[in-house]
A = this chain, B = another copy of it.
Amino acid sequence: MTTVASRFQGVIPPVVTPRTADGAIDVPSLENVTRHLLNGGVTGLFVNGSSGEVTHLTNDERDTVLRTIVGVNAGQVPVLAGAVEQTTNRVIEEAARAVSLGADGIVATSQYYAISNAEENGRHFRAVAASVDVPVFAYDVPVRTHFKLPTGLLVELGREGIIAGVKDSSGDDVSFRQLVLAARDIPNFDIFTGHEVVVDGALLGGAQGVVPGLGNVDPAAYRRLFDLSVAGDWAGAAAEQDRIADVFNIVYTPKAGRVSGNAAGLGAFKTALMLMGIIKTNVMSTPMLALDEDETAAIKVILARTGLI
């Protein structure tokens, strides 16, 4: 299905986790989202990431989600699974379960809650990688972990074959570019941006792909943007990016302060998917509030003007 050379490249959305009205995992809706993404041309699936509300899921729920997506995907594209836990031994437990359920790669953050440092996180990734026989990606998300993975450490881990790449949600485009440059000669080292609205610049700078939460809503647009970049049509890529940036405005529809930052962004993705008929509810994991009627109406306007409904 993909035209790209490496296994983990292109558009790999972090799949949202739909819930039923009474708060259970909504398996049929999750199957639907997965099909929607595959139909949109994604080149991979990232399961149990932040956009999948992974830290809000119990272990049983995490397994249900991964099992469901692996089943629908049936080997069409590679499946990356988050092993998102506070510390090494807990990540190792998560990673083992994910691999046993069919994950083709593991995504792990630095430690959090723990007050850690670079050396400790180096040992952390080494221990995680030693515990599984699939590729491990480092997920750099300091807005959540409050630790920025240093470029030097990531390059060192890449060069030694500990990690196979990086999902960068650091919001730091300077260090992102420097990582891309420093890792350019590492074979099969793949760097993804997690920021939905700067993908054109990231690809121009040499990134291998994108892990966009908004890709749940409009996977085809990200695939078009990626294909334009592969074709060298950068003006076209920027134009597609600008259109996508307008869709991204759905995350700003929640009324100031009514819901948390988490619930605003992820809630907007779910609400859009609900309006598009792909999932049944926009219910969030406890204790997050779902977007309300007004906020849903505002999202509807944006989806309509961008041609998504």
- Chain A residues with CB under 8 Å of chain B are 50, 55-58, 61, 84, 86-90, 93, 111-117, 119-121, 123-124, 127, 143-146, 171-174, 177-178, 181, 195-198, 200-202, 204-206, 232, 234-235, 238, 241-242, 245-246, 257, 259-263, 285-289
Contacts and interface: CB of A to CB of B under 8 A. Distances in A.
Nearest to A121: B287
B200 A120 contact: no
12 contacts: A56-B87, A58-B90, A86-B86, A115-B260, A119-B289, A120-B262, A120-B263, A123-B286, A146-B146, A201-B201, A201-B204, A234-B234
Nearest to A126: B287
Contacts of A202: 201
Contacts of A260: 114-117, 119-120
Given A127-B287, A177-B198, A242-B181, A114 B56 contact: yes
Q: Identify whether the interface residues of A are mostly helix, strand, loop, or mixed.
A: helix
Contact of A171 (B93, B115, B172, B205): B172
A306 to B, nearest CB: 13
Contacts of A56: 86-90, 114
A289 B260 CA distance: 29
Contacts of A146: 146
A198 B181 contact: no
A270 B148 CA distance: 28
Nearest to A145: B113
Contacts of A181: 242, 245-246
A137 B46 CA distance: 36
Given A171-B173, A287-B124, A205 B235 contact: no
Contacts of A195: 173-174
A251 to B, nearest CB: 11
Given A113-B84, A117-B260, A174 B198 contact: yes
A258 to B, nearest CB: 8
Given A57-B89, A90-B58, A201 B178 contact: no
A234 B245 CA distance: 20
Given A144-B115, A201-B173, A286 B89 contact: yes
A289 B145 CA distance: 21
Contacts of A55: 86-87, 90, 113-114
Given A58-B89, A58-B93, 8 more contacts: A55-B114, A114-B260, A117-B261, A120-B262, A127-B286, A174-B196, A177-B201, A204-B204
B238 A235 contact: no
Contacts of A173: 171, 173, 195, 198, 201
B235 A116 contact: no
Given A115-B144, A143-B115, A287 B120 contact: yes
A115 B234 contact: no
Most chain B beta carbons < 10 A, residue from A57, A145, A146, A246? A146
